[in-house]
Amino acid sequence: MSIKLNSGHEMPIVGFGCWKVTNETAADQIYNAIKVGYRLFDGAQDYGNEKEVGEGINRAIDEGLVSRDELFVVSKLWNNYHDPKNVETALNKTLSDLNLEYLDLFLIHFPIAFKFVPIEEKYPPGFYCGDGDKFHYENVPLLDTWRALESLVQKGKIRSIGISNFNGGLIYDLVRGAKIKPAVLQIEHHPYLQQPRLIEFVQSQGIAITGYSSFGPQSFLELESKKALDTPTLFDHETIKSIASKHKKSSAQVLLRWATQRGIAVIPKSNNPDRLAQNLNVNDFELSKEDLEAINKLDKGLRFNDPWDWDHIPIFV
């Protein structure tokens, strides 16, 4: 099952998320995910594992398990590379690390322009802006960064471009200046953070949505997020467990189907081969209207990935 993007390309509705996949295991995990049937791989420069992800992809291609054009490979432009003169340099680094000639989708990771840090100084730079642990920013309008991405589509280095962690106002403004409309918006999306107005607006614009952290606090437990530690897991929530029992599915499958049934792509990850297969096969059942209404009642507006927690950056305030 896939989503037809406004760029004309098809994006699988279920993919494998590469966030927090360790360098030691990434190549094998990606290779095994391809063997199971995954074709979308969602990565980012900031994840620091693109070389290993590329090793897994290329091993599968070299062995004939899959061809390059059967895969949908995603990366994201990190905050330090927003200046147009640095965008292609950053993309080239990703393509080199992945050992690929093009990306299927390249997203602006956050609508935040940190000060440029040369790749040879620190890569990925994370929150480093060239001055210890102090944050520094550049005055780069988002449309300038977007224009640079548009030029890389024309060069054939990227097939589709999009955005991540943008709010409605920023999207509303960007689409009015864009020559190439964003193909995808990626957002934190789970029953505790449903964002129905944003989703309605973005889908009305013909922009596809990918939800990350579909399992809510689960994604942030290993980061020792106090917010996540203080929040009941969705896997054990009585509403989710009851719906899962009714459909003879796992809680994870219900959470993923809640998104895909509404046309939202998902990018879960798992180290467990059985769960890897389960997460991929979530489109063979339908949640009822009653199921959907019950899940809708779980919305708390609870966001776990918020730049306000970094340096009081008010994207979502």
Nearest to 315 by CA among 204, 215, 193, 171: 171
- The number of angstroms, rounded, from the C-alpha of 127 to the middle of its chain's C-alpha atoms is 19
Does residue 192 carry a catalytic annotation?
no
Burial of 247 (0-12, 13-18, 19+ CB in 10 A): middle
109 annotated to a ligand binding site: yes
Say which DSSP state 17 is in.
E
25 — phi, psi (to 5°)? -110, -10
Beta-ladder partners of 211: 187, 266
161 — phi, psi (to 5°)? -125, 155
Count other C-beta atoms under 10 Å from residue 270's C-beta. Answer: 17
Peptide bond into 314 cis (omega under 30): no
- Select which of 31, 38, 47, 128 is catalytic: 47
Supply 51's token pair. Answer: 């070389």
Helix (H, G, I), strand (E, B) or coil at 239: helix
Binding site for substrate: which residues?
Answer: 109
Active site residues: 47
